[in-house]
Amino acid sequence: MEALLSLVITLLIYGLIFYVIWWALSQFPLPEPIGPVVRALVAIIFVLVLVSLLLGVLPVMPLRLTPR
């Protein structure tokens, strides 16, 4: 139960950080070729951070390389 609460709090903090960065990017207009690229990079980084965070919570089965 504590791990789930910790995960929810962490997700809320990451979401808030992402929202602030996204809002800041919309407040400072960037030139046309750079603006969409920066927004896409921020979104990709956020998704990768979320995936790595969620994969850290899942139990992982060890890989056996030797035959039984």
CA–CA distance, 15 with 40 (Å, rounded to integer): 16
pTM: 0.71
Query: CA nearest 45: which of 68, 25, 29?
Result: 25
- The pLDDT value recorded for residue 16 is 96
| 49 is a domain residue | yes
| 67 is a domain residue | no
| 46 is a domain residue | yes
| 26 is a domain residue | yes
Total of domains in the chain? 1
- The pLDDT value recorded for residue 14 is 93
Q: Which domain holds residue 45?
A: 2-56
| Structure confidence at residue 68 as a pLDDT band (50, 70, 90) | low
| 63 is a domain residue | no
| 62 is a domain residue | no
**pLDDT per residue as tens digits for the range 12-52:** 999 999 999 999 998 988 888 898 999 999 999 999 988 88
User: What is the helix (H) or strand (E) element at residue 2, kind and residue range?
Assistant: helix 2-27
| Structure confidence at residue 7 as a pLDDT band (50, 70, 90) | confident
| 64 is a domain residue | no
